[in-house]
Amino acid sequence: MKPLVYGSLLVFCLLIAAGLSIWLGPVEFTSAQILEALKGGGSPENRYIIRDIRGPRTILAIHVGGGLALAGAVFQALLRNPLAEPYILGISGGAATGAVLVISFGVMASQSWALPLAAFVGSLLAICTVLAIATNRNRKVDMRVLLLAGVVTGAFFSACISLILTLSDAPNIRNAVVWMMGSLAGTEWSTAIVVCLYTLPCTIILIGLAKPLNLLAIGEDTANYLGVTVEQVKLTGYIVASLMTAAGVAATGIIGFVGLIIPHGIRLLVGNDYRVLLPLCFLAGGTFLTVADTVSRILISPVEIPVGVVTALFGVPAFLWLLRGHTRPGQL
């Protein structure tokens, strides 16, 4: 009962957030003008602003935010670490590096359907590196090393992005700040649709993993006894969550902390059952990024703040709070 209530509440919030994102912006519209433009009337400029600038941006924010939050929740389950998240693990950085690399060498345009795959290669490289460093001789992941390795890998990839962009003379590439702090400015329908095509199947697969993830949370050995093919679940989880992260990052750059604060917020509400947690994370993540993006463009309009700044302003205090709560003295 409770999950259904929260679910419908979040769907409602998501719709409100999407509505606000269409309604609010540097140019002010009345609700009548908005409705008229959505129906295909009004002046061509208004129609373009509402349908082709704000529309794709809102859709992209929902899917990237939802994807990052869901990926965060899955990484937390797989690694049994509350601080795991695509950004902190360096996975977003790897994805952005992959995307920047192929764009700057002119291999792919920024709206190409295959761009997320290039980003995916980068994200896999990042997660493999981080896991390889953090796995000790007994094939157990050392949680302290994991986070440090993730942060350092992320910093390394940021340096790579700066270097590639400095050396590149491709005229059609966004600047380093956009890649490293994230931005949804200038989203086109083609980009939004590509991201949806990657995000939605990934979402379904990851939500399908909810039951084994529940058992994994108890412990790998226990899960094994209870019939979970542990290695297979972990592999699927890592790959699909990385792909979903990569699709978002390829379109928006690195947006941090969505995968951290959303899953923890939802956990506080509904507990640790991943069958409930994962779908709610997607809805809440989409809502959160849509609101953050709206804030980023109206706060000091007409100048836009990178949306990663807004998510970090909320995310860092949340991270520190969790860090205090989960680590006993001497543990980290």
Note the residues at the interface with other proteins (CB under 8 A): 25-27, 43-46, 48-49, 52-54, 110, 162, 165-169, 171-178, 185-188, 299-306, 309
Q: Closer to other proteins at the Cβ: 37 or 241?
A: 37
Nearest-approach distance from CB 202 to other proteins, in angstroms: 25
H or E segment to which residue 2 belongs: helix 2-23
**Token couple for 301:** 């309009």
H or E segment to which residue 32 belongs: helix 31-39
Q: Closer to other proteins at the Cβ: 52 or 231?
A: 52
Q: Closer to other proteins at the Cβ: 1 or 167?
A: 167
Nearest-approach distance from CB 135 to other proteins, in angstroms: 37
- Nearest partner of 91 among 109, 105, 72, 66, judged by Cα: 72
Could you give the CA distance from residue 214 to residue 218 in angstroms, rounded to a whole number? 7
Nearest-approach distance from CB 291 to other proteins, in angstroms: 17
Q: What are the DSSP E strand ranges found in 68-167? A: none
- For the chain, the maximum distance between any two Cα atoms, rounded to a whole number of angstroms, is 67
Q: Closer to other proteins at the Cβ: 6 or 257?
A: 257
Nearest-approach distance from CB 303 to other proteins, in angstroms: 5
DSSP-assigned states of every residue in 195-216: HHHHHHHHHHHHHHTHHHHHHH
Contact 108, 282 (CB under 8 A): no
Nearest-approach distance from CB 53 to other proteins, in angstroms: 6
Contact 128, 147 (CB under 8 A): no
Nearest-approach distance from CB 174 to other proteins, in angstroms: 6
Could you give the CA distance from residue 281 to residue 219 in angstroms, rounded to a whole number? 23
Classify residue 67 by its DSSP letter.
Answer: H
Q: Closer to other proteins at the Cβ: 165 or 241?
A: 165
Q: Closer to other proteins at the Cβ: 185 or 239?
A: 185
